[in-house]
Structure 1
Amino acid sequence: MTRQIDELPGFLKGWLSAHPRISEVAAKTASSGRVHLSVYRTTHGKPLGVEYDKDTLQNLWLRAGDAPSHIPSGVKTTHKAWTGHEWASPDGKGANSNLRGYADFRGYDLIRLGVKTQADAEEILTHLLK
């Protein structure tokens, strides 16, 4: 039996690559290979970082100001404040360091949304397109 989380990376990749109002942003360096982070941008200029390599959830990174006001209850939410040179949260942990390579994220407070289901991911992505 396939777990929902096992199908989520493929769903996200398909949804994001097929949507006409979302484009993938080139990685900062050719050697990064987008192993730990893929970045997209909506036609309205809203960035989205996706970590596809997690086992129990998929992390979606948004600027805090772009986050939906209603976040589904099954989504793990972590706020990351910009400190002037990096991001930090109350637990002392930072953000994915690859985010610093994208001007769309640098200087902004972020929110990391740990998504486990396609329905929750689609709700967040649909909000991002508004």
Structure 2
Amino acid sequence: MTTTDIENLKGALRMRLRRDFVEVSSARDTSRKAHLEVFESKRGGRALGVEFGHLDRINFWVVRLGMPRDLPPTIERVDKEPNGSRSWTDANGDGANSNLSGYKQFATKPIARLAVKTLDEAVLVLDHLAR
């Protein structure tokens, strides 16, 4: 994946988010969308956290209960369990984006990080969340 590929993916993803999702404000002022932007689908209100800052992928953060069941093996999935209302860890003890704790949509819920690298992968997740 080249830098151009990921930049094109980011542009296409932002267009899709504007069409089918609404941006959600953080309950905490410290977030300021520095490393995370959160959206809810216009239909169904399913939450989606997005990290645009990586050079080789886009990370989606989703509540596991509402995520697609059959993901292709090309989408890297890491499940995170809540530790109280402000943090999550996976089986290796690695945490989640701390800015997620500023959003009631994620607080105290089991979540997953989905690393997408292509538009087809992103569309698969977004189509599921937007229905």
Q: Which secondary structure does the structure 1 equivalent of 2:72 belong to?
A: coil
The corresponding residue for 1:117 is: 118
- Alpha carbons 2:3, 2:55 under 8 Å: kept: no
For 1:48-86, what per-residue CA distance to the aligned partner results, in whole angstroms no more than 9, with x for missing partners? 000010111100000011110111221111000112242
TM-score, scaled relative to structure 1: 0.90
Please show how residues 1-130 of structure 1 align to structure 2 within 5 Å: 3-19=4-20, 22-30=21-29, 32-43=31-42, 44-85=44-85, 86-130=87-131
Query: How high is the sequence identity, in percent, across the aligned residues?
Result: 34
| Whole-angstrom distance in 1 between the partners of 2:3 and 2:64 | 33
1:33 Cα offset (Å):
3.1
1:30 Cα offset (Å):
4.8
Structure 2 residue runs without a partner (length 5+): none
Q: Which secondary structure does the structure 2 equivalent of 1:98 belong to?
A: helix
Q: Which amino acid aligns with 1:4?
A: D
Distance change (3 Å), C-alpha of 1:106 and 1:31: closer
Q: Which secondary structure does the structure 1 equivalent of 2:95 belong to?
A: coil
TM-score, scaled relative to structure 2: 0.89
Report how many aligned residue pairs link the two structures.
128
| Whole-angstrom distance in 2 between the partners of 1:101 and 1:76 | 24
User: Which moved further from structure 2: 40-49 or 103-112?
Assistant: 40-49
| Whole-angstrom distance in 1 between the partners of 2:47 and 2:3 | 30
Structure 1 residue runs without a partner (length 5+): none
1:101 Cα offset (Å):
0.2
1:5 Cα offset (Å):
1.9
Q: Which secondary structure does the structure 2 equivalent of 1:41 belong to?
A: strand
Q: Which amino acid aligns with 1:60?
A: F
